[in-house]
Structure 1
Amino acid sequence: MSWTQIPLGPIQTNAYVLTNPEGEALIFDPGGDADVLIAWIEENKLNPTAILLTHAHFDHIGAVDEVREAFSIPVYLHKQEENWLGDPELNRSTAFLGRTKVTAKPAEHIFTKEQSLQIGSFTCEVFETPGHSPGSVSFYFKEENIVFSGDALFAGSVGRTDLPGGNHQQLISSINSKLMELPEETIVACGHGPTTTISAEMDSNPFLNAL
């Protein structure tokens, strides 16, 4: 399988597209610029099967409805944030974008706990990694050696925790107990900025190595 990082939306949030050899694809966090993402998928002759959301802040959901409708595919989200899609106050678009309100229709599939997830030929583990937001999850694809961490873990940093529902100690606990337990060579596909690896963050992330 292969994956592609595509920064989208008002603050260039990383969307990702994971593709198998048959051209089936999973879309992670389509944060905006739906026309750009849809055109890229069509140009590459891909067949999307689902949208997976690491969490429901506005910059991760801005293109959800247009992409969902373009390819007639379902959306997956954690129960803690199922109401955020339709509420600009909860998804923070009101606070950050003013008059521009970001909303989306309800998700078709709701996670209520950690689980193994199979969508077509794709199989992953869903980890609850709250702290940046209460319903944050990470998607770990063991065979592909990659985890889509949303805004939990970044290259050299961690997600902000000053928004409603954020909790710094909970975030650090989530990272240490879930993500840092993955094999060191695991690629971390972050919600913003470059990708990294578990090994690199173990060695040099100041938030995880503070005395």
Structure 2
Amino acid sequence: MKLYDDIEVIDNTNAHVYVIYNKGKVVQVDSGSKGDADKIINYYKTRNIRPDFIFLTHTHVDHIGGLAKVVKEFSPKVFVNKNEADIVKGKAKPEGSWLVRFFSLFVKVEPIEKVYDDLEIEKEFDNVKILHTPGHTPGSTTLIVEKGGKKYAFVGDALFSKDSQLYVNKTFARDYNLALKSAELIKNMKPIIILPGHGKAIEYT
């Protein structure tokens, strides 16, 4: 579904999977749950395109579950914060609240071997910036894209939205106080369009 010019969201995934058409490249943000992989792959195949890059805002299972299958299908470069790279590679357990860690005992995510540091994506585009926004997880990261005179922030779960309001979800945060500080960092970039992992996009002015 189209949200803004050159920005779409893949329908009916557990956590939002955004697709950005940027300077002739396709950037995917997050990868949904394991059961979302076929929806993501079908999105690209029906359009006869492929993702060049996948950017992970963090490594909870509802954001990386579909990653391995999509990577096997299209071989994109995957970017993730260095603090969570080993989680994607299957060498460490997911970080988060006790509830997140509990769920991770029952949901196994297939690892991938090769990842790139999140800051490396800034070298690919002159209109893309990385903002580290820890708290939800230690490596939670926001992808900021400037297009057409507007700034778009793909925040993962650093912020949720409900009823046109932005908030930090205390239940799933690893460090709630740090998450609140990160939320303020994002908001202080206004005017900015915030695209969360859950809930509707909000134009924060």
Residues of 2 paired with 1:167 and 1:107: CA distance?
28
Instruction: Choose from 131, 139, 160 the match for 2:169.
Output: 160
Question: How much does 1:196 deviate?
Answer: 0.9
- Contact 2:16–2:197 (CA<8 Å) still a contact in 1? yes
Instruction: Choose from 137, 145, 149 the match for 2:151.
Output: 145
Residues of 1 paired with 2:113 and 2:170: CA distance?
25
DSSP 3-state at the match of 2:142: strand
Indicate the percent of aligned positions where both proteins have the same amino acid.
25
Question: How much does 1:106 deviate?
Answer: 3.8
TM-score, normalised relative to structure 1: 0.78
Closer, same or farther: CA 134–190 of 1 in aligned 2, 3 Å:
same
**1:117 aligned partner, one-letter code:** E
The residue aligned with 1:194 is 200
Question: How much does 1:87 deviate?
Answer: 5.3
Please tell me whether residue 83 in structure 1 is matched to residue 90 in structure 2.
no
Cα deviation, 1:104-153, whole Å, max 9, x if unaligned, reads: 22442024xx677133x573100000011110000001225211000011
Question: How much does 1:198 deviate?
Answer: 1.9
DSSP 3-state at the match of 2:52: strand
Corresponding residue pairs, total: 190
RMSD: 2.6
Residues of 2 paired with 1:25 and 1:167: CA distance?
32
Residues of 2 paired with 1:136 and 1:75: CA distance?
15
Can you give the 5+ residue segments of structure 2 that lack an aligned partner in the other structure? Answer: none
Residues of 2 paired with 1:150 and 1:104: CA distance?
20
DSSP 3-state at the match of 1:66: helix
Residues of 2 paired with 1:54 and 1:97: CA distance?
18
Closer, same or farther: CA 84–196 of 1 in aligned 2, 3 Å:
same
The residue aligned with 1:204 is none
The residue aligned with 1:18 is 20
- Contact 1:138–1:148 (CA<8 Å) still a contact in 2? yes
Question: How much does 1:30 deviate?
Answer: 0.7
- Contact 1:94–1:101 (CA<8 Å) still a contact in 2? no
The residue aligned with 1:52 is 55
